[in-house]
Amino acid sequence: MNQCINYLFIMENCYFKKFEVIGTTKDEAKEKAGLNLMVDATQAFKKWNQNNAANEDDIREWLKDYLKKKKFDKPGIGAFIVTQTGVSDTRERPYKIKTIKYDSKTHTAEHFYVLRDMAGNVVGREKTKKAAEQAVREYITDYKENVNVYHEWEPKEKNSLVLEGTYTPSKGSKPWKLLVFGYVTVD
């Protein structure tokens, strides 16, 4: 009793759904639908729509009848109508690269005198050599262990932005738009 009944709008664990999906290619749009799309109903819908002045309810009934006629009125199965054919991006270089101005003040590296114990762990950090000497005296006095001082450099700004790359499609390109309809299961 887990199957859909065609003439009810909301059924047990299943309901009719009509929605639009967009993709750069027809196949990508079909994958985004989430239903197993069995047939392209575009031509049948255009032919029916020419002969009928249809409102939203009439279109919804036609979609349900179409699924019933094709025997696709089961959960997870649907069909689609192409509402906009896409034009693929034909640019050879569909990108724009912007170089960020290099600011020497923010990128200049700072130097430190780093105190490390014999295992290599950092135990102190000082800005000047004289302060590092004082820190060595205090560390050896307090902990009675050997310590080494290394002169290390660090940039002021670690992740410096150098380039910005942006995708710029050709002006005539447009995505595919599909009107997808079918019976969706609710968990």
pLDDT digits 0-9 by tens, 72-117: 878 888 899 999 888 876 777 777 878 777 665 555 677 889 988 8
DSSP string over the chain: --S--TT-SEETTEEEEEEEEEESSHHHHHHHT-SEEEEE-HHHHHHHHHH----HHHHHHHHHHHHHHTT--SBTEEEEEEEE--B----S--EEEEEPPP-HHHHPEEEEEEEEETTS-EEEEESSHHHHHHHHHHHHHHH---EEEEEEEEESSSS---EEEEE---TT-B-EEEEEEEEEE--
Per-residue pLDDT, 8: 43
Which residues of the chain are under the pLDDT cut of 50?
A: 1-11
Per-residue pLDDT, 4: 46
Each domain of the chain, given as residue ranges in start order, spans 10-88+174-185, 104-155
Per-residue pLDDT, 182: 86
Per-residue pLDDT, 21: 92
pTM over 0.75: no
Per-residue pLDDT, 159: 52
